[in-house]
């Protein structure tokens, strides 16, 4: 499985949903599982992004589906980054 970083910004609608139902965050994580990915770590952050999620998915197409499905709802804007384990990155430089 490949690792991806999802940087998420809530829209006004998304912020209202989270304020009224904080458990919605965990519900979305279960929905991500239904798309074939797995949330390894998730953090609420201050600054440019509201959440940082570390997610495993079988391939780029799978994580693209996660990003599109969640983004299409209008409650969140997601930037998805592909993450390479540092040891793999170093090995590929040699």
What is the token pair recorded at 20? 């009224």
Pair 67, 78: CB distance under 8 Å? yes
* The dihedral sign for the CA sequence 60, 54, 73, 35: positive
Q: How confident is the model at residue 87 (pLDDT cuts 50, 70, 90)?
A: very high
The pLDDT of residue 92? 95
Q: Return the pLDDT at 22.
A: 96
- 41 touches 54 (CB < 8 A): yes
What is the structure's pLDDT at 2?
A: 96
**Distance, CA of 53 to CA of 77 (rounded, Å):** 13
- The pLDDT tens digits for 30-73 are 999 999 999 999 999 999 999 999 999 999 999 999 999 999 99
Please compute the mean of the pLDDT values over residues 84-91 and round it to a whole number: 96
Q: Give pTM, 2 decimals.
A: 0.91
User: pLDDT of 2-24, one tens digit each?
Assistant: 999 999 999 999 999 999 999 99
């Amino acid at each position: 499985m490949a690792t991806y970083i999802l940087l998420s910004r809530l829209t006004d609608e998304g912020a209202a949903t989270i304020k009224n139902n904080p458990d919605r965050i965990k519900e979305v994580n279960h929905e991500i599982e239904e798309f074939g990915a797995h949330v390894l770590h998730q953090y609420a952050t201050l600054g440019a992004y509201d959440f940082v999620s570390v997610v495993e998915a079988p391939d780029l197409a799978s994580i693209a589906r996660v990003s599109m499905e969640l983004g299409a709802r209008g409650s969140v804007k997601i930037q998805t980054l592909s993450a390479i384990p540092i040891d793999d990155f170093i090995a590929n430089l040699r």
